[in-house]
Structure 1
Amino acid sequence: MREPIDLSYPFRGRWLTQNSPADRVPSHGTTLFATSYAIDFVPVDDDGRTAPITLTTLLRPEPADRFPGFGRPVLAPASGTVVAVHDQAPDHDAFRGLPSVGYALTQRRRAEAGWEALAGNHVLIALPEGPVVALCHLQRGSVQVAPGQQVPVGEPLGRCGNSGNSTEPHVHLQAIDQPDVRRAAALPLAFAGRLPRNGEIVDAG
């Protein structure tokens, strides 16, 4: 296996790690669309929580803007060239508790619609050495960059949303060997030389 691509965290503040390749590969349970080493980060508050769980949470979908991380800035994890953006997918409700079961049953339909349907709003950045980094599930209308634009590490790209295949606001990040995700191979990644494990809270300051 090739050496991991070393990235910076694409955010500031506290975020919870989910679906980490530090715990299993493929991290999302599938190799579809080069997601073998993909990782998810969920924004949390100072107490390490997303949104409070109530009886309503268990029974009905919730507005995405109820979550404290909805709209948080998402930053470039490396310097490179923007090669693709999508910014018009709607942010849908969040699904926890029983609603998440029904949402899971529609997963196959979204997968059949292709990677763009799963990714929702996204930015793809080509690194100078060749790999491409994808950041997905961004908030509709929040993308601040355009194809062809050079971005330094830490450059604001957009905001955390709940578009595409997402049960609550979070950022999905994956590294691939070319911009065409349908033909790409997954590449391993790391952050300052390591991968956070599932359930670990990252504090990026």
Structure 2
Amino acid sequence: MGAMTAPGVELSFPFTGRWMAQNSPADHVPSHGTHLFATTYAIDFVALDERGRTAPRSWRSAFSTEAPEIFLGFGVDLLSPLSGTVVATHDGEEDHIARRSPFALAAYALTQWERVRGGAGAIAGNHVVIKDARRFVLLAHLRRGSLVVRPGDDVVVGTRIGACGNSGNSTEPHVHVQAMDAADATIARGLPITFATPAGHVLPRNGEPFIA
């Protein structure tokens, strides 16, 4: 994956269907522009329709905000990308309105540090952390009320854990995946990740659709 120089934590894709990587270390490290909260190698995925859209376009997508329910990824089942034990979950954060409009995004950016000060719930939203050996994998921005696992549960690859949502620091429904060396993202370091596919393909670069 481009900028990666260290062996990655190999995962399975936590979803099925047509998706695209929006932010990833395939383009730059840190992938989210910061090492804060162990996001050094984090990847954001969005679901696409056959025309390559995350949701139908309308005047609202150009000038205003949109309901998260219109996005293809909203409510899609999320699957465990590894076998291990659930060590942390968080639910109860609302799925807020989505923003694709440059005007809405600019206003949202002004409140970024407010969310950082709000802690894990304000940033990751509803989320799950799964431990495998000494590695920890976080899936964030889940739909409120969708979590079906709790700390102490053992999961295997493909176990349903919840659904894609728009909670936390999220401008539209998407799946945020990151690997860490500790369960607490405020003190952990991010670890590189790779994804295994039956055909042995590597993750496409940002903006390239793929079928999981």
TM interval, short-chain normalised: over 0.9
Which residue in the other structure is 1:77 paired with? 81
- Deviation string, structure 1 residues 146-168 (Cα, Å, up to 9, x no partner): 10000000100100000000000
2:152 pairs, out of 145, 148, 151, with 148
Which amino acid in 1 is paired with 2:169?
N
Alignment of 1:26-105 (within 5 A): 26-97=30-101, 98-105=103-110
Q: Does 1:200 align with 2:208?
A: yes
Q: Does 1:11 align with 2:15?
A: yes
Q: Does 1:115 align with 2:111?
A: no
Which amino acid in 1 is paired with 2:107?
G
Which residue in the other structure is 1:167 paired with? 171
Q: How many pairs are equivalent?
A: 203
TM-score normalized by the length of structure 2: 0.92
Moved over 6 A (4+): none
Counterpart secondary structure, 2:55? coil
Counterpart secondary structure, 1:126? strand
2:131 pairs, out of 126, 130, 135, with 126
Whole-angstrom CA distance in 1 between matches of 2:110 and 2:182: 31
Whole-angstrom CA distance in 2 between matches of 1:180 and 1:16: 27
Counterpart secondary structure, 1:22? coil
Q: Which runs of 5+ in 1 are unaligned?
A: none
Whole-angstrom CA distance in 1 between matches of 2:211 and 2:126: 24
Whole-angstrom CA distance in 1 between matches of 2:150 and 2:60: 39
Are the equivalent residues in 1 in contact too, given 2:15–2:78 (CA < 8 A)? yes
Are the equivalent residues in 1 in contact too, given 2:93–2:121 (CA < 8 A)? no
Q: Which has the larger displacement, 117-126 or 184-193?
A: 184-193
Q: Give 1:144 shift.
A: 0.7
Q: Which runs of 5+ in 2 are unaligned?
A: none
Whole-angstrom CA distance in 1 between matches of 2:125 and 2:180: 17
Whole-angstrom CA distance in 2 between matches of 1:132 and 1:18: 22
Are the equivalent residues in 1 in contact too, given 2:93–2:125 (CA < 8 A)? yes
RMSD, aligned CA: 1.2
Whole-angstrom CA distance in 1 between matches of 2:182 and 2:204: 25
Counterpart secondary structure, 2:167? coil
TM-score normalized by the length of structure 1: 0.95
Percent identity of equivalent pairs: 55
Are the equivalent residues in 1 in contact too, given 2:142–2:166 (CA < 8 A)? yes
Q: Which has the larger displacement, 16-25 or 132-141?
A: 16-25
Counterpart secondary structure, 2:66? coil
Whole-angstrom CA distance in 1 between matches of 2:36 and 2:120: 9
Q: Give 1:16 shift.
A: 1.2
Q: Give 1:196 shift.
A: 2.8
